[in-house]
Chain A
Amino acid sequence: MGMFSESVDVVCNPAGQPLNLQWAGRHYTVCAEPVRWYERRQWWAEERRAPLGSGPGLVDHEIWRVQVQADPRSAGPRDAGEPLTLDLSRHVGSGRWRLLRIHDALRPQTA
Chain B
Amino acid sequence: MSFSHLHVSTAFSAHYGVAWPDELAQVAAADGATALACTDRDGLYGTIKHLKACMEAGIDPIVGVDLAVFDDDGDHRTQLAGRVVVLARGHNNGAGYRALCRLVSDAHARTSGKAGGAVPVAVTRAELASRTLDPKTLKPVLTVLIGPDSDVGRAMSGRRYLRPRTLFKSWLDAMPPRTLVAEVVSQLTAPGAPLSTAHAVRMLKLAEEHHVPAVLTNAVRYCAEDGAATADVLDSARTLKSLSELAAEPLLQPNGQAWLKSSAQMLQLGKEIIRAAGYGAADLKQLMSQTEALADFCRIDPVTDMGWKQPVVPEASVIGISQDPHDELVQRCEAGISRRFPGISGSAHKDMRSRLEHELGIIRNLGFSSYFLTVAEVSRMIMDMGVRAAARGSGASSLVNYLIDVSQVDPLQHDLIFERFLSRDRATLPDIDIDVESAERHNVYRRIFDRFGSERVTLMSMQNGYRARGAVRDAGMALGMDDDDVGEIAKQLWRFSARKFREALVEKPELREFAGRVEQRDFAENQQLDLLVDLTERLDRLPRHISMHPCGVILGDATLLDRTPVQPSGLGLPMSQFDKHDMDPMGMLKLDVLGVRMQSAMAFAVREVIRIHPSKAEVVAAGAHPAGPDGTGPDYIAENGHIDLNAVPLDDEPTYELIRSTHTLGCFQIESPGQRELIGKLAPREFNDLIIDISLFRPGPMKSDMVRPFLEHRHGFAPEVYPHPDLKPVLQETHGVTVFHEQILKTFHVMTGCGLARADEFRRALGNEVHELKVEEFFRKEARVKGCTPEVVDKVWGTLQAFGSFGFCKAHGAAFAVPTYQSAWLKTHHPEAFLAGLWEHDPGMYPKRLLVAEARRLGIPILPLDINRSQAEYRVERVADGPDAGKLGIRLSLNGIYGLSGTELKRIVAGQPYDSLADLRARSRLSKPSIKRLAQLGAFDSLHRESGGAANRADLVQHLQQLQAAGGTRKGIDIMDGQLSLPLGDVELRNVKPGLPAPTLVENVRAELDLMAIDVSGHLMDSHRPMLDRLGVTTADKLLSLRNGTEVLVAGVRIATQTPPMRGGRRVVFISIDDGTGCVDSVFFHEAQEQAGLLLFGTRLLLIRGTTRRTGPRGISLSASMAWDLSRVESLPFAADRVESTDVPHPLDGISRSLAITGMGG
Contact = CB atoms under 8 A, between A and B. Distances in A.
Nearest to B537: A52
A38 B253 CA distance: 11
A39 B197 CA distance: 13
A66 to B, nearest CB: 14
Interface in A38-76: 38-40, 42-45, 47-60, 63
Interface residues of A, number: 26
A45 B189 CA distance: 21
A60 B228 CA distance: 9
A38 B257 contact: yes
Contacts of A36: 188
A111 B252 CA distance: 26
Interface in B947-994: none
Contacts of A57: 225
A49 B530 CA distance: 6
A28 B196 CA distance: 28
Contact of A39 (B190, B225, B230, B478): B190
B534 interface: yes
Contacts of B479: 44
B531 A55 contact: no
A63 B252 CA distance: 18
B244 A44 contact: yes
B229 A54 contact: yes
Contact of B535 (A45, A50, A53, A59): A50
A63 B191 CA distance: 11
Nearest to A15: B268
A4 interface: no
Contacts of A42: 243-244, 247
Contacts of A44: 232, 243-244, 478-479, 531
B255 interface: yes
A37 B232 contact: no
B792 to A, nearest CB: 48
A36 B198 CA distance: 12
Given A38-B187, A59-B256, A52 B531 contact: no
B559 interface: no
Nearest to A47: B531
A49 B534 CA distance: 7
Given A38-B257, A40-B252, A59 B247 contact: no
A37 B244 contact: no
B763 interface: no
Contacts of A45: 244
B73 interface: no
B244 A60 contact: no
Contact of A43 (B188, B224, B229): B229
Contact of A59 (B191, B229, B531, B537): B229
Interface string B251-262: 011111100000
A52 B538 contact: yes
A40 B538 CA distance: 19
A60 B226 CA distance: 11
Contact of B527 (A35, A48, A60): A48
Contact of B531 (A38, A40, A48): A48
B537 to A, nearest CB: 6
B534 A50 contact: yes
Contact of B225 (A40, A51, A55): A55
Given A40-B254, A56-B226, A59-B228, A51 B534 contact: yes
Contacts of A40: 247, 252-256
Nearest to B502: A51
A48 B520 CA distance: 13
Contacts of A59: 225, 228-229, 232, 253, 255-256
B530 A48 contact: yes
A36 B229 CA distance: 22
A38 B1013 CA distance: 57
Nearest to A38: B255
A62 to B, nearest CB: 9
A37 B188 contact: yes
Given A37-B189, A38-B255, A51 B243 contact: no
Given A37-B190, A44-B243, A47-B531, A56 B225 contact: yes
Contacts of B187: 38
A38 B244 contact: no
A35 B226 contact: no
A58 B228 contact: yes
Contacts of B527: 48
A58 B197 CA distance: 22
Contacts of A48: 527, 530-531
Contacts of B243: 42, 44
Interface in A76-97: 92
Nearest to A65: B191
Most buried by A among B197, B232, B255, B535: B255
Interface string B513-552: 0000000000000010011001101100000000000000
Contacts of B225: 55-59, 92
B687 to A, nearest CB: 50
Nearest to B225: A56
A47 B528 CA distance: 9
Most buried by B among A35, A52, A59: A59
A40 B537 CA distance: 22
Interface string B193-228: 000110000000000000000000000000011101
A55 B226 CA distance: 4
A80 to B, nearest CB: 29
Nearest to A46: B527
Contacts of A54: 226, 229
Contacts of A47: 531
A13 B224 CA distance: 25
A54 B255 CA distance: 16
A48 B530 CA distance: 7
Most buried by B among A52, A55, A63: A52
A58 to B, nearest CB: 5
A42 B257 CA distance: 15
Given A44-B243, A49-B531, A52-B537, A38 B188 contact: yes
A52 B244 contact: no
A43 B232 CA distance: 10
Nearest to B192: A37
A50 B252 contact: no
Nearest to A56: B225
A85 B254 CA distance: 23
Contacts of A37: 188-191, 196-197, 255
A60 B191 contact: no
B482 to A, nearest CB: 15
B107 to A, nearest CB: 31
A14 to B, nearest CB: 13
Nearest to A45: B244
Most buried by A among B187, B197, B225, B535: B225
A49 B225 CA distance: 16
A20 to B, nearest CB: 23
Contacts of B535: 50
A52 B530 contact: no
Contacts of A51: 534, 537
A47 B535 CA distance: 12
Contact of A50 (B188, B229, B244, B247): B229
Contact of A52 (B190, B247, B534): B534
A38 B188 CA distance: 6
Interface of B: 187-191, 196-197, 224-226, 228-230, 232, 243-244, 247, 252-257, 478-479, 527, 530-531, 534-535, 537-538
Q: Which 7 A-B pairs have the closest CB atoms?
A: A59-B256, A56-B225, A60-B255, A59-B228, A38-B255, A60-B256, A50-B534
20 contacts: A36-B188, A38-B189, A39-B189, A39-B190, A40-B247, A40-B255, A42-B244, A42-B247, A48-B527, A48-B530, A48-B531, A49-B534, A52-B226, A52-B230, A52-B534, A54-B226, A56-B226, A58-B226, A59-B225, A59-B256
Given A39-B189, A44-B232, A54-B229, 5 more contacts: A48-B531, A55-B226, A57-B225, A58-B226, A59-B253
